[in-house]
Structure formats: C-alpha cells, structure tokens
C-alpha cells in the first residue's frame, strides 16, 4: 500500500513560515520513503495554496522519489487548457511523479457533470495530439461547432503536413495541448462526495478519493459502494487507485474523522479499512503533529503496511 502526506494549510497564520514547515517535512518524508505528497487547493485562509501546481513544481527540485499530487483542484478557478498543461509541466519537471485529484462538485458550487467533463477533457488531451472537444461546459478550441461530436474528437489525417509557422492567420479546428505528461497514464482522482460522481467515476474507471473531512464510517461505505459499481461495470482493480485521506493522532483519541491510538492501533485501523474498501493509497492529513510522530509513523506504520 502506498502511503502519503497532505497538510492542513489553513492552520497557519502566515504562509511564508507555514509553507517552509511543510517543505521541511516533505524533504524529510521523501527521505523516509513516503510515497506521495498532496497539496490541497484553497483560497480562503492566509496560508492556503490556490495554485498547488506551482508549489509542487517547486517541490520537484527538493524531492527525489515521492509522487507530487495536486489535490482538491477546482474546475472554475483556471481555464481548462491550463489544468491540462500544469500537470504535464509538473510531470516533466518531476519525471513522471505528478498526479491530479479534483474536488467534489458540491465543494465547488458546480454540477457534477462539470467535473466529469473536465476529467474527460484533461485525460483526452493527454491521450491525443490534435483534438477538439465539445461539451456543455468546455469547448476547445472556442470555434468548435455545435455539429461536432460530443466530447473529444480527432481529425482525419489527410494531405501533406503543414508546419505551424506556415498556418498564417487560419484558426485550425483541432489543436494539440502540449507538452504531454512524462508518463502515458498520469494518475487522476476525483473526490466521490456526491452519488452522481461516485457512480460515474466507478463506471468510467476514474480513481476515487475520499478527503479527510468525511467521517471514517461514511468514507468506508462510499468506497465500498464505489468498488461494487466498478466491479459490476467490469472495471479491473489494477486500473484503479482508491485513496483515503485521514487525520492521525499517534497516542491520541480516535474520533469520527481521525485514527488514533498506538502505532499498532493505527496500523490495524488502516488494514481494516483496506479490507473493507480496497484502498491502495492512504494519505495522512497532517495538522500539527511533530517530526517525531512522522518518524514513528514511517517506521512503525508505513513500512509494516507493505506486507
């Protein structure tokens, strides 16, 4: 099982100092073998990070191994091609360590279909060269006609190649969003807070994520339900990476969103959740735990989760 870290950035009053603390932890955790680092998009509190792709590209030069995942990406705070591009750039700077998780529609004030369409657009852009896209919320390029097929479509290849610098003022019907990611299948997740997204993601084989604020029992039910639908849809477990994010307090109390107790208790709680839900990636949402806690978790929980 992969084990990663994310952070409650909103607990810091000052971004400069708070982010430096996070950067130091990432560097340490990368050395300790944590598999992933997730920066959540936020813009409400002083130390929130509205552009995780910039933060993670910075981290790509501070780390060697850990996956660098954009978390809670919203569909309305950046233009659609920028979301495609930012992940590709991060993936090339980090040589294949980038990932992208979208926030649930309910947290963004948009209909679930908007999030689904963005995921379709992003993944189609990575998988094809010249393309166009006609959706309810995204149209790429802008002059794509109503008669174009729904979703992504690609041109018929005919005639001689015309280099871009010879296009003149013409606006082509199909464009290639570049660069492409370093790896062919960049991980994409979506938080499955709403039923419509849970069902759509399970049927499409888009990996689910459950964030730290959903109670553990509810999270387990939703991930189990996702698994059922994915199985019914014929989705293989090998194409899906189910992610569960929890707060952890070593030697502390367990509550509805937090795993507490001794390292052995936490280990058993995560194993239990894995058995119930099929999660393959656990993310510890850090909210002020000490560096010693990080070391204890790495040596007494993370390592033992592997087998």
Distance, in Å, from the CA atom of 10 to the CA atom of 225, rounded to the nearest integer, reads 31
* DSSP assignment string, 122-141: HHHHHH-SSBEEE-SS-EES
- Distance (Å) of CA 169 to CA 108, 165, 166, 172: 38, 10, 9, 9
Minimum separation from the CB atom of position 214 to other proteins (A): 24
Minimum separation from the CB atom of position 66 to other proteins (A): 14
Minimum separation from the CB atom of position 221 to other proteins (A): 34
State the first-to-last Cα distance of the chain, in angstroms, to the nearest integer: 8
Minimum separation from the CB atom of position 90 to other proteins (A): 7
Phi (first) and psi of residue 31, to 5 degrees:
-65, -35
59 or 110, CB closer to other proteins? 59
Minimum separation from the CB atom of position 160 to other proteins (A): 15
Contact between residue 72 and residue 191 where contact means Cβ atoms under 8 Å apart: yes
Pairing relation of β-strands 132-134 and 151-153? Answer: antiparallel
- Chain positions contacting other proteins, by CB under 8 A: 15-16, 19, 42-51, 53-55, 57-62, 77-79, 81-82, 85-86, 89-90, 92-93, 95, 139-143, 163-172, 175-180, 182
88 or 197, CB closer to other proteins? 88
40 or 296, CB closer to other proteins? 40
| DSSP bridge partners of 151 | 134
1 or 15, CB closer to other proteins? 15
Distance, in Å, from the CA atom of 83 to the CA atom of 23, rounded to the nearest integer, reads 23
Minimum separation from the CB atom of position 167 to other proteins (A): 7
Minimum separation from the CB atom of position 241 to other proteins (A): 23
Pairing relation of β-strands 207-210 and 188-191? Answer: parallel
50 or 275, CB closer to other proteins? 50
45 or 225, CB closer to other proteins? 45
180 or 274, CB closer to other proteins? 180
Minimum separation from the CB atom of position 284 to other proteins (A): 23
90 or 266, CB closer to other proteins? 90
Of 110, 80, 94, give the one whose Cα is nearest residue 39. Answer: 94
Of 97, 101, 67, give the one whose Cα is nearest residue 242. Answer: 101
Distance, in Å, from the CA atom of 291 to the CA atom of 107, rounded to the nearest integer, reads 31
Distance, in Å, from the CA atom of 244 to the CA atom of 38, rounded to the nearest integer, reads 12
Task: Return the structure tokens found at 86.
Answer: 């930012």
């Amino acid at each position: 099982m992969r084990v990663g870290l994310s952070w409650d950035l909103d607990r810091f009053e000052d971004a400069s100092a708070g982010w430096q603390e996070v950067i130091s932890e990432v560097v340490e955790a990368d050395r300790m073998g944590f598999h992933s680092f997730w920066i959540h998009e936020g813009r409400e509190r002083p130390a929130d990070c509205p552009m995780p792709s910039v933060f993670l590209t910075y981290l790509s030069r501070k780390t060697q191994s850990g996956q660098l995942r954009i978390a809670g990406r919203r569909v309305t705070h950046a233009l659609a091609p920028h979301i495609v591009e930012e992940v590709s750039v991060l993936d090339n700077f980090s040589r294949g360590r980038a990932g992208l998780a979208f926030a649930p529609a309910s947290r963004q004030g948009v209909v679930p279909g908007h999030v689904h369409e963005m995921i379709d657009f992003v993944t189609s852009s990575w998988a094809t060269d010249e393309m166009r896209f006609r959706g309810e919320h995204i149209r790429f390029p802008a002059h794509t006609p109503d008669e174009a097929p729904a979703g992504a479509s690609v041109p018929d290849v005919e005639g001689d190649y015309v280099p871009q610098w010879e296009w003149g003022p013409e606006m082509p019907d199909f464009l290639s969003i570049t660069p492409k990611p370093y790896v062919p299948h960049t991980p994409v997740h979506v938080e499955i807070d709403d039923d419509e997204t849970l069902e759509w993601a399970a049927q499409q084989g888009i990996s689910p994520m459950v964030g730290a604020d959903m109670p553990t029992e509810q999270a387990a039910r939703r991930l189990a339900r996702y698994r059922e639908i994915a199985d019914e849809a014929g989705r293989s477990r090998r194409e899906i990476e189910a992610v569960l994010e929890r707060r952890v307090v070593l030697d502390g109390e367990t509550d509805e969103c937090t795993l507490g107790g001794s390292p052995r208790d936490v280990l058993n709680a995560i194993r239990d959740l894995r058995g119930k839900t099929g999660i393959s990636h656990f993310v510890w949402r850090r909210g002020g735990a000490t560096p010693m806690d990080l070391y204890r978790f790495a040596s007494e929980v993370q390592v033992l989760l592997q087998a």
